[in-house]
């Protein structure tokens, strides 16, 4: 009897400790962000056609209506709210590789920082995402983590973002990511520089919660990703490792020259092709 009581108490303490450990217990998610349901929807969508470019990411990608910002493009959204880089790595086959796109744009890491993941873990996950993409002749394009701000905390205390996502760690991770892209000859999309104000925080009018872009924020981001991929990968150079040159976007894009000849992936995407 005493042994049974001891085992019951031991089990109760174990579950109590687990419940209090927020690093172990995942955050509760709403039906919209239930990743299982979202992933099943992705699989159904994938059966309907082939895509040229996949956007892989978390809620920032999930909330981006690509058809509004990239009309007429065969771009597909594979963002799932709340996910970290390890979860995206686990989705690479079904949500990227099986679609056989030419490019995958990866925007990931802000939730890892919020959960206290070591930078080395984030870097390893992003490296493996790149390795998997290249092994299947898919060009990886990496985007910097966006800045955050506390400008909207008076509206809602939960909008104090810099506590969970320290700006210094964002800058450090972006520094590694930029260097990684230079070494591997991957395009690097510098959303950070375009969205940060002079203090290094996410511009107040580019977000409503200090973390996710609003319509203005996405309008800033859209031309940046197009500029980063334009001219870096041609149709006949797909998968030619070591020949691509990275294009880094540090500022808001300039107006295109009127007579500038289109080339690279953007021209390819605008053509009728099988």
20 dihedral zone (left: phi>0; alpha: psi -120 to 50; beta): alpha
Q: Please, what sign has the CA dihedral across residues 34, 225, 232, 74?
A: positive
Give per-residue pLDDT as tens, 120-135.
999 999 999 999 999 9
Output the six-digit token pair for 58.
């978390």
The yes-or-no verdict on residue 262 having pLDDT over 70 is no
Name residue 53's beta-bridge partners: 75, 103
Query: What class does CATH assign to 32-270?
Result: alpha beta
Burial (Cβ within 10 Å: 0-12, 13-18, ≥19) of residue 94: middle
Output the six-digit token pair for 126.
């992003």
Give per-residue pLDDT as tens, 56-107.
999 999 999 999 999 999 999 999 999 999 999 999 999 999 999 999 999 9
Burial (Cβ within 10 Å: 0-12, 13-18, ≥19) of residue 267: middle
The yes-or-no verdict on residue 157 having pLDDT over 80 is yes
Domain residue extents for the chain: 32-270
- Who wins on pLDDT, 48 or 115? 115
Asked whether the beta carbons of 247 and 187 are under 8 A apart, the reply is yes
Please tell me the distance from the alpha carbon of residue 182 to that of residue 186, in angstroms, as a whole number.
Answer: 6
Share of the chain above pLDDT 90, in %: 64
Which residue's structure tokens are 């509206």? 155
pLDDT band per the 50, 70, 90 thresholds, residue 230? confident
Q: What is the pLDDT of residue 243?
A: 45
Mean pLDDT of the chain: 80
pLDDT band per the 50, 70, 90 thresholds, residue 232? low
pLDDT band per the 50, 70, 90 thresholds, residue 272? very low
Mean pLDDT of 176-180: 98
Per 3-state DSSP, the chain is made up of helix, strand and coil in percentages (nearest 5) of 45, 10, 45
């Amino acid at each position: 009897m005493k042994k049974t009581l001891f085992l019951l108490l031991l089990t109760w303490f174990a579950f109590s400790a687990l419940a209090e450990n927020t690093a172990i217990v995942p955050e509760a998610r709403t039906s919209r962000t239930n990743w299982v349901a979202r992933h099943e929807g992705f699989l159904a969508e994938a059966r309907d056609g082939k895509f040229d470019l996949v956007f892989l990411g978390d809620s920032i990608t999930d909330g981006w209506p690509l058809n509004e910002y990239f009309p007429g493009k065969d771009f597909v959204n594979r963002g799932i709210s709340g996910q970290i880089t390890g979860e995206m790595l686990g989705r690479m086959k079904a949500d990227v590789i099986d679609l056989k796109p030419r490019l995958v744009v990866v925007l990931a890491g802000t939730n890892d920082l919020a959960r206290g993941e070591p930078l080395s873990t984030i870097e390893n996950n992003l490296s493996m995402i790149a390795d998997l993409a290249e092994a299947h002749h898919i060009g990886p394009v990496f985007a910097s983590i966006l800045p955050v701000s506390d400008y909207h905390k008076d509206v809602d205390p939960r909008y104090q973002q810099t506590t969970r996502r320290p700006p210094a760690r964002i800058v450090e991770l972006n520094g590694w990511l930029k260097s990684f892209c230079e070494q591997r000859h991957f395009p690097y999309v510098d959303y950070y520089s375009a969205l940060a104000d002079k203090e290094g925080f996410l511009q107040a009018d580019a977000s409503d919660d200090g973390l996710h872009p609003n319509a203005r924020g996405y309008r800033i981001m859209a031309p940046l990703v197009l500029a980063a991929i334009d001219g870096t990968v041609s149709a006949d150079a797909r998968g030619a490792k070591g020949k691509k040159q990275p294009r880094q976007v540090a500022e808001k894009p300039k107006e295109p020259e009127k007579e500038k000849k289109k080339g690279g992936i953007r021209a390819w995407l605008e053509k009728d092709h099988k």
